Amino acid sequence: MVFERMNPVFVNLQYLIITVMKQKEIVTLQRSLLPDTEALLNKQVEMEGKSSAYYLSMASWCHMMGYANAAKYLYTHADEERMHMMKIFQYINEAGGHAIQPEITGVRHNFNSLREVFELILEHEIKVTKSINSIVDHAFTAKDFATFSFMQWYVTEQREEETMSRRALELFEIIGEEGIGLWTIDQELGKLHAAAETGA
């Protein structure tokens, strides 16, 4: 037979490939993460990654413009968003899925004012909240209670993120931007950042 005349090394390699493929099928069948849930989570990974890049760009602009406390606030915020991304990234893989490294493009680098920066932050955080809520709703409907439980941390975190963003934006209305207003706002942003860091 042709099979008998084949190189034993080649035959062994074929057997090894088939064995590995079968094992891979078993792993895939045993995964607890549904494909549509995985897709939503990977979309959230991308959103969190873009958030980190977006806030880092804002921090750089604030630094360049002399808003030292706003820059510090946003540098920290950028780090937090990356941590949010990594938590989901690792969860996907641990649940048997395949986390995808997001491609980050189109990040804005210049802004018209400090006020605009914080208006954009609040607008973005509201979008993130809606995205988180859609994942939670999907997980509950699909009876994926592991993902539902995992995402509760993000629900609480987004409540805090939105509150912080609103407090920051309110400073512009309370203090005003005339005279030393922007300097005062930057000082207050430093206090807001310190309070968030200590959990006060």
Whether residue 87 sits in one domain with residue 16: no
d(CA 147, CA 159): 19
- Comparing 21-35, 103-117, 144-158, which segment has the lowest mean pLDDT? 21-35
Q: Are residues 52 and 26 in the same domain?
A: no
> What is the average pLDDT across 89-102?
95
Residues 20 and 110 in one domain: no
Q: How confident is the model at residue 200 (pLDDT cuts 50, 70, 90)?
A: very low
Instruction: Name the binding residues.
Output: 48, 81, 84, 125, 158
User: Which CATH number characterizes residue 118's domain?
Assistant: 1.20.1260.10
Between 36 and 15, the higher pLDDT residue: 36
pLDDT at 18: 60
What Rg do the C-alpha atoms of the chain give, in angstroms? Answer: 24
pTM (two decimals) = 0.80
Average pLDDT of the residues in 71-92? 96
* Structural domain boundaries enclosing 10: 1-30
SS3 of 185, please? Answer: helix
Are 73 and 11 in a shared domain? no
The closest of 38, 156, 17 to 97, measured between CA atoms, is 38
Number of domains the chain contains: 2
- Say if residue 60 is in the same domain as residue 151: yes
What pLDDT digit, counting tens, does each position of 164-197 carry? Answer: 999 999 999 999 989 999 999 999 999 887 876 6
Whether residue 15 sits in one domain with residue 71:
no
Q: Does pLDDT of 28 surpass 60? A: no
Please give the pLDDT value at position 99.
Answer: 96
Together in a domain, 82 and 148: yes
Whether residues 22 and 107 share a domain: the answer is: no
Binding residues for Fe cation: 48, 81, 84, 125, 158
Question: DSSP letter at 108?
Answer: -
Q: Are residues 121 and 158 in the same domain?
A: yes
Residues 11 and 72 in one domain: no
pLDDT exceeds 80 at position 76? yes
If asked whether residues 1 and 44 sit together in one domain, one would say no
For residue 6, count other CB atoms closer than 10 A to its CB. Answer: 11
Q: Within this chain, do residues 19 and 93 fall inside the same structural domain, yes or no?
A: no
